[in-house]
Amino acid sequence: MTELDEFEKKILRELQRDASLTTAELADRVGLSPSPCWRRIDRLQRDGFIKRRVALVDRRAIGLNAHLFAQIKLNAHGRANLDEFSKAIHAFPEVLEAYVLIGGMDFMLRIVAKDIDAYERFFFDRLSKLDGIQEIQSTIALSEIKSTTELPVN
C-alpha cells in the first residue's frame, strides 16, 4: 500500500467533511495550488483511497424514523449457504450495513424503517423468512449519540 503524504491526508480529511468542494477550494484549504491538488485527488481515486463521492441524506428528513440493529444466528444449513444469505441481504434496501461476526451471532445488520410497524412488517414478511435463520435479536436505537462517516486519517 502506498504511503500518504501530509497533503494527501489533508485532502482526505477535507473531502470526508465536504466532497462538494471544488479543486480550487480544496487546494486552498490544504495549502496547494489547484493542479498538484487535482493530481493528488486523481491518484487517491485511482489507488482506491477514495471509493466514491456521495450525498449524505438525513434519514429522518425522508421519513425513516426507526433505526435498528439485528443480530442474526444461522443454523447449520444457513452457514453452509452464506452466499445465498448475503445476496438476500443485499436485496433489502432497509439494510444499510451488514457485518459477519465472530461469537454467538453470525451477522449484525443496521436497518432503517419508517417506524416500528414498518420494521415489524419487514421482520415478519421478509427478514425472518430467509432460509437458514435460527435466531434474530433486534435492538431499537433510541437516540444517536455519534454518527459519522469520517475516518481518522492520521
Rg (Cα) of the chain, in Å, rounded?
20
The pLDDT of residue 1 is 61
pLDDT of residue 76: 85
| Cell 471544488, located at residue | 22
Domain definitions of the chain by residue range: 6-46, 60-140
pLDDT-derived band at 38, boundaries 50, 70, 90: very high
Cell of 149: 462517516
Q: How far is CA 112 from CA 37, 56, 149, in A?
A: 37, 15, 17
Percent of the chain with pLDDT over 70: 99
What angle do helix axes 6-17 and 34-46 make, rounded to 10 degrees? 80
Mean pLDDT score across all residues of the chain: 95
> Over the stretch 6-18, which tens digit does the pLDDT of each residue have?
999 999 999 999 9
Domain 60-140: which CATH class? alpha beta
Average pLDDT value for residue range 133-152: 96
Cell of 3: 504511503
Least confident of 1-10, 21-30, 121-130: 1-10
AA identity, residue 135: E
CA–CA separation, 141 vs 35, rounded Å?
45
80 or 93, which is more confident: 93
CATH, domain 6-46, list 3.10.20.30, 3.40.718.10, 3.40.50.1360, 1.10.10.10: 1.10.10.10
- How many Cα atoms sit within 13 Å of 42 on the Cβ side? 6
Residue 39, pLDDT score: 97
SS3 sequence, the chain? CCCCCHHHHHHHHHHHHCCCCCHHHHHHHHCCCHHHHHHHHHHHHHCCCCCCCCCCCCCHHHCCCEEEEEEEEECHHHHHCHHHHHHHHHCCCCEEEEEECCCCCCEEEEEEECCHHHHHHHHHHCHHHCCCEEEEEEEECCCCCCCCCCCCCC
pLDDT band at 2 (very low <50, low <70, confident <90, very high): confident
Q: Kindly tell me if the per-residue pLDDT of 80 is higher than 90.
A: no
